[in-house]
A and B are shown apart, each in its own frame.
Chain A
């Protein structure tokens, strides 16, 4: 992806693939012959209508799309009311990573599983409320690196790009001139090589 653009999912985007790999509860509305293997708690060959399972989001989305629904999708618990209440109370206090690493992305998909706009609203509310926290984190050069563990992936991207920009600005303010540097990949290649070499030392 272009380094300067903000995240937007596309067919090849790694984050979107990983977000759609998250598991989502659903209920089978029809029998699915030979699909018993989707249910780890049984040895039966076929999957019976009425079975409730957690399946990867990509499958739930496909199987619930269109006029003929194979499964009825349900909201993952982190988007249900109890969790929404926690976010409403104080979104900044929440370890969003523990909710889900792809909180917003997953949320943007599953919000349609609920007829009301509650999930949609809580996604916006959470993002907007936590912005100041992310901004302060990005601006604070010596902030504890473990703090970003509490961010979801989208927030981490924001934090990271903001933090890099801030560091560059601080360097510019203090230094007489930015040195020309070896390319990123070249540096990484060196580092890794050193590690590899060490293994044989």
Chain B
């Protein structure tokens, strides 16, 4: 059964200037000659490197052991020799160890058929252990260790939402996965159900993927999984966990422990981990931008150089002024193209010069557009002025903590005020002061 639910409030229609991926196909990216694999690709403590220079590693071999529960395993994405172990700075600005692997040797796993391991008989602990061992983290950008997210006492979860909405405009990886890996994703949903025994399970897809609904429903029926497909509007930032849940439950968004949303890419990774026993060594990401000749959804090995992927898609270096990791709205601008793809890299967007230059900020004319588009029902212009006056704590009192920097306000502002960025800084300061400014995700 299918129905369409609206955003409770707010949101913007995706910026149309940017082309999405040319087609829905997932293209395998070329293997990197040298993979640079950071030990910190997730939320939490960095993994502990278990290899040293000169070691020979096989594909999928554990090279970083999770440092305690608040961490995740890291595996070699390509076979080869450890050329170096250096400290690098990630796009987020964090520093961590990274293992440089020079491609070489043979592939034991890739391309070879894998036998499905039975899992239905397993209990929650074993399932979670398989997920943990494979180093699965949230692939929707959050990169929160999945074995932590799904470790809950059964029955406490009323709603399980499989999130098939790409979380930013002009990104198409989740849509592509739904088209090519529906059975795997559905089995992933099944695994989640086994773990959570939720009251209700929904596979939420975007309007862009609406044509898939019959197919998805067929797959679900064949798999005998009790789940329902729901189409949600393509408006940004509908893909955000809280907004998916809010739309499904028809209420304003808020942090709500009784509902769990899992990205379809994560579900696919869970399937591979639990059923195929394959660790997380690659991910699907969208490479796009006005200066990119052939935008594609690439399936890239973790540790592949960002620059290589852009080249592969035909980026014109002369015209490119700015490259962001993530999406056009919330992506992080990177200063070097040598950064590796990590588990958290949703996409790579290249901007031309005139797109990149920041528009001139003018005075706020109190038009209220930011209030209208804010999905969290905040008053961005007032919060902005409070922060500007240095009254972060009052801003926190007025709900600054709910801001997720989705960027809708900045996008809608006719005066081109960088509302989202300023609110983000203020929120971080306020939460540092520890007066209720904490982010809630």
B partners with A: no
Chain B positions near chain A (C-beta within 8 angstroms): none
